[in-house]
Chains A and B, each alone.
Chain A
Amino acid sequence: MADKVIYAMYDDDDVLKDGAKSLVSKGVKVSEVFSPFPIHGIDPIIGVKNTRLGIMAFIYGLTGLTLATVGMQYFMIIDWPMNIGGKPNFTYLENILAFIPITFEFTVLCAAHGMAITYLLRNKTLPGMPADNPDPRTTDDKFVMELRTSENANFSADELTKMVKDTGIVEIDEKVI
């Protein structure tokens, strides 16, 4: 079945947010919002869950920590214990102070890059990817709400359009996918 998509454009983030609130309270599903900057408080309204990237960053950090520890243990203690100024490297624990800075740096390195790469992949924002914002002005000063008829089985396209028109929009556009 053809999926009709309604793009409602607003010129203010707060109007959009209130619009989304009233639509959602009527049982409409807002599938997406495109905005030039993060609209604070929109996520719970339209049902966007909080990202779990933070957990990933923690896991990447732990990986870095482990790699650094294992690496330095192998290089400095097992493979070739150095004797510097009469202070030999016999055990890892005795020498741990000297290994703290690099352990820290490597943890940060892995956490930051791991998270950044995951972020880009999850967003599918990569060099050469095509942009799919419905209107070029959504990266400037316009805010677009996307409603899909397929996700709003209880309403007809006309009903949706009518409801949307009551929320202070500045433009409306329909597309059939």
Chain B
Amino acid sequence: MHKEAAIREPLILGHKTYHDITEDVCKPIEDKAPRMWYILFGIALIIALYGIGCILYLLGTGVGVWGLNKTIGWAWDITNFVWWVGIGHAGTLISAVLLLFRQKWRMAINRSAEAMTIFAVFMAGLFPLIHMGRLWLGYWVLPIPNHFGSLWVNFNSPLLWDVFAISTYLSVSLVFWYIGLIPDFATIRDRARKPLSKKMYSILSFGWSGRAKHWNRFELVSLVLAGLATPLVFSVHSIVSFDFATSVIPGWHTTIFPPYFVAGAVFSGFAMVQTLVLVMRKAMKLEAYIHTKHVEYMNIVIMVTGSIVGTAYITELFVSWYSGVEYEAYAFINRATGPYWWAYWSMMTCNVISPQLMWFRKLRRSLLFTFVISIVVNIGMWFERYVIIVTSIHRDYLPSSWSMHYPSHIDIGVYIGTIGIFFVFFLLFARYFPVLALNEVKSIMKSSSEYYKNLPDEHGHEVKEVETKVEEPKVEETEEDKPSEDDNEKSDEESDEENKDNNE
């Protein structure tokens, strides 16, 4: 278990001990927040409050304050919804799919990616709720016995599937995230000095003590939740795409949508993770744990999913011609050359061309370049949804109904506002929560940290015999002990492997 090919780049740089990992992650939580945090938080809060103001105005006045008209009945609201749900896909993908694939690099980023997922899905959920206009009647989407006689929600409708998909996704991701957080809250609790934080973290940690049996359950629960969350991730965006694909609007009525939306979601989700993580690692001095290799891995995911998205665009274009349906063909010609050509071509540039640059090793290992591309990709993915939604409906079958969509300032305010709310949540998370999965990072230290990888090889042979060089018990962690401890690892390799199989 502990051994890993020496050729693989280490995942933890430098000589870190278990205690160092705790220190590095807990320090930002225990120290005073830097001035920059307050500045960012202030900005995010102002934007968030403005957005909330817009939402309140919308709820008080009605959905008419959006720039919709009788032709374009869906525009920014659903665009933003799909965009946020898409962003919300990376976290669970990282923690669930990569867990099943035993990708160790996920451990440094899964916590913050999952936090991002949860906050992004919050933001996504906001849009369908506010578009109901009468938010307080939102519970009507649930099949509950009511006083209208036999009036049930329509289980044939993809919009209702969405209700179930999004709420399941949100709550399961939240549970998955929190179960991982419990042991880390316990670490902070046991270090806390101030009575208030001690109290808070002991409530949050649910009295976790790290018993062997508990860890045994913990590992199985993580594994099973990952197994459940994996098809869930793929189902959610598939179902979101059904909102369009099951309709008969040219440009929406496409069987390619589910896989294409899922790839797009992973694409934009990873881009958002990059944006956040690149800033976070710097601000919180976590460069040893989240370094160029992690960024590179994520860039490869972006490149692959970006290529899938690009292929889907072109397939869609081809099929619109090959199908021989003139309405379908027109929808696509109109996208590329009609009044929304600029949206279409920005989408093409951002989503198809920019990820291809990641083929260059130099570029995908450049942090600055990655940061820029990650923002470009998110802009591109917003345009993708806008292009799909608005350009497909702005030219109706009836030319007299042809129209254009102009967002009102409330449209813009609500959208920008959700970005503000998202950052308020994320900054609070970065301030008070362990941003690295402490227990998981510690568990890969012996296999993947630079120090352990570089230990001389000749130690790896004499095994089994317990080293009984009893020094007087001492508290200090000693470095000279380390090489010999490494000896014992090989013998356990097999039993570990068996364990894993049993779990699976």
Residues of A within 8 A of B (CB): 9, 11-12, 14-15, 17-19, 21-22, 32-44, 46, 48, 50-51, 53-54, 57, 71-72, 75-76, 79-80, 82, 84, 89, 95, 98-99, 101-102, 104-106, 108-109, 111-113, 115-116, 119-120, 122-133, 136-141, 165-172
Contact = CB atoms under 8 A, between A and B. Distances in A.
Given A39-B212, A137-B190, A18 B488 contact: yes
B205 interface: yes
Contacts, number: 253
A130 B207 contact: yes
Contacts of B400: none
Contacts of A165: 470, 473
Contacts of A105: 161, 164-165, 168, 232, 235, 239
A37 B235 CA distance: 32
A40 B496 contact: yes
B218 interface: yes
Interface residues of B, number: 89
B156 interface: yes
B231 interface: yes
Contacts of B338: none
B69 interface: no
Contacts of B7: none
Nearest to B246: A98
B337 interface: no
A105 B218 CA distance: 23
9 nearest A-B residue pairs (beta carbon): A129-B207, A141-B18, A136-B190, A125-B206, A133-B209, A38-B215, A37-B439, A141-B19, A75-B152
B19 A79 contact: no
Contact of A116 (B179, B186, B466, B485): B179
Nearest to A78: B150
Given A112-B175, A125-B206, A139-B186, A46 B228 contact: no
Contacts of A127: 203-204, 206
A57 B17 CA distance: 36
A122 to B, nearest CB: 7
A48 B214 CA distance: 10
A125 B499 contact: no
Contacts of B5: none
Interface string B1-28: 1100000000000000111001000000
Contact of B152 (A46, A79, A111, A115): A79
A54 B235 contact: no
A53 B443 CA distance: 22
A22 B466 contact: yes
Contacts of A43: 212, 216, 499
Given A38-B443, A102-B160, 4 more contacts: A14-B486, A108-B168, A112-B225, A141-B17
A27 to B, nearest CB: 16
Given A19-B466, A34-B211, A128-B203, A84 B191 contact: no
B49 interface: no
Given A101-B235, A120-B206, A53 B220 contact: yes
24 contacts: A11-B481, A14-B2, A14-B485, A40-B1, A41-B492, A41-B495, A50-B216, A51-B216, A54-B220, A75-B155, A76-B155, A80-B150, A105-B168, A105-B235, A108-B172, A116-B225, A124-B207, A125-B182, A125-B207, A129-B206, A138-B209, A140-B187, A141-B22, A168-B470
Residue in B160, B187, B486 whose Cβ sees the most chain A Cβ within 10 Å: B187
